[in-house]
Amino acid sequence: MEILLSISCALMAGLLMSRVVKPLGLPAVTGYLIAGVIIGPYCLGLLGIEGLGFLSMEYVEKFGLISDVALGFIAFSIGNEFRLSDLKKTGKQATVIGIFQALVATLFVDLALIALSFILGEDVLPKSVCITLGAVATATAPAATLMVVRQYKAKGKLTDILLPIVALDDAVGLIVFAVSFGISKAMVRGEMDIVSIVVNPILEIVVSLILGAVMGYIFSEMEKLFHSRSKRLSVSVTFVFLTVALTMIKIELGSVILSASPLLTCMMLGTVFCNVCESSEELMDRVDRWTTPLFILFFVISGAELELSVFTSLAAVLIGIVYILFRSLGKITGATFSARLMKCDEQIVKHLGITLLPQAGVALGMSVTAMQLGDYEGGLIRNIILFSVLIYELVGPIMTKNALIKAGEIIPEGRKSAKVLNIHRKK
């Protein structure tokens, strides 16, 4: 009963807060995150009333399955942006920009934190932590970006190239993190492991793409067996659930690990489905409507997961500020330079970098892996990422919205809704 009450409380809090932030011109996703903080362990949770908010971080973790499923649907939706007809126009640009801006962000963070390490000392900020944080800087949160695009019905050249780049970030991030983390472990333990640095990350990407492609093809064939809209929607939901479940399986062959990334696999599922199934656009529209409450719950839970206790560590706050500043600078500089190099539209050159700042789930997953470095190093990385996610998740969606408005791809809401205005603009 307590879990159902908590879910109801989370949904209600998210819906009400979205109405509170609307007159302020803030995206609904920001309202959901704030609602999560309010009903989280550091606010209403302190009252200790079961069913009214989340009592502790351990209690929040009980809802991890909901977050896993929601991320699967988010990745599936982004995968539908990789239609071959569209990729012929933006595929090369998105690939170059996606790789370049991620690597520049890593370079900027590495150099800034290593310089700070010399100032604070190796005992306060170890070099292994600097290198690992540089790798985490690659990751961008697809969920927040997608929600802003959907809420305001953003449409245009910047939006078209943004979602593929956000998706590519995860593939690039997995490789960069695996290599950097392997180097960091070698620095801490004094041993180099080529398998974990090179072999496992490549295998994870290959397994993810193959599994997603196979599931996408089977999914497309299964849709042909049903004709009613309700049953075809049910098949769509079933396959996303099934794909997320399969990514949880890990096979260990000595030091070699065969596993799949939930985000990459579900993106590939959506990519194959949208290019094989003729009615994919209609089905995706129905899936989007079905998942709205799920996404609200996901962001409220994400808000509840934000660790406000990180502010008690001055070292983590200082390092976190440097991390945020130089990751942002790297993302913006890398995106601007590469977009200009690829001769993109001027609006893309000016505003793309800002839209790549949100950071959440993937970065948090990397910080959990980083705990293997040791109690101090892993704990420091975890606190810095928690601090940065808190800032990025609350501010990032607002900046993304403003960038899309400046690019002319979102019409500000007046008396009419954004949806009506954008439909009118298309005509």
DSSP string, 171-182: HHHHHHHHHHHH
Residue burial 139-176, b: 16+ Cβ < 10 Å; e: rest: bbbbbbbbbbbebbbbbbbbbbbbbbbbbbbbbbbbbb
Which one is predicted more confidently, 218 or 424?
Answer: 218
Q: Which of 112-116, 342-346, 370-374 has maximum average pLDDT?
A: 112-116
Whether the pLDDT of residue 148 is over 50: the answer is yes
Looking at residue 415, what is its pLDDT?
A: 44
At which residue do the structure tokens 């126009």 appear? 89
Which one is predicted more confidently, 112 or 48?
Answer: 112
Q: Kindly report the length of the chain.
A: 427
Q: Are 117 and 315 in contact (CB under 8 A)?
A: no
Which one is predicted more confidently, 15 or 32?
Answer: 15
Whether the pLDDT of residue 424 is over 60: the answer is no
- List the structure tokens of 12: 């209600």
- List the structure tokens of 51: 């069913």
The amino acid present at 280, given as its one-letter code, is: S
Reported as a pLDDT band with limits 50, 70 and 90, residue 55 is confident
The amino acid present at 385, given as its one-letter code, is: I
Reported as a pLDDT band with limits 50, 70 and 90, residue 330 is very high
What three-state secondary structure class fits 251? strand
Among the residue ranges 260-269, 328-337, 365-374, 403-412, the one predicted with the least confidence is: 365-374
What three-state secondary structure class fits 47? helix
- List the structure tokens of 221: 């064939």
What DSSP element (H or E) covers 257? strand 256-258
Q: Are 196 and 126 in contact (CB under 8 A)?
A: no
pLDDT digits (tens, 9 = 90+) for 388-418: 877 887 788 888 888 888 888 887 655 444 4
Side-chain half-sphere CA neighbours of 35 within 13 A: 29
Whether the pLDDT of residue 317 is over 80: the answer is yes
pLDDT digits (tens, 9 = 90+) for 209-261: 899 999 999 988 888 888 787 888 888 889 999 999 998 888 888 777 788 87
Reported as a pLDDT band with limits 50, 70 and 90, residue 421 is very low
Task: Give the CA distances from residue 90 to residues 160, 187, 272, 275, in Å, rounded to whole numbers and listed in that order.
Answer: 8, 40, 18, 16
Q: What's the rounded mean pLDDT across residues 67-91?
A: 76
Q: What is the mean pLDDT of the chain?
A: 81
Which one is predicted more confidently, 286 or 427?
Answer: 286
Q: Which of 221, 245, 246 is nearest to 235 (CA)?
A: 221
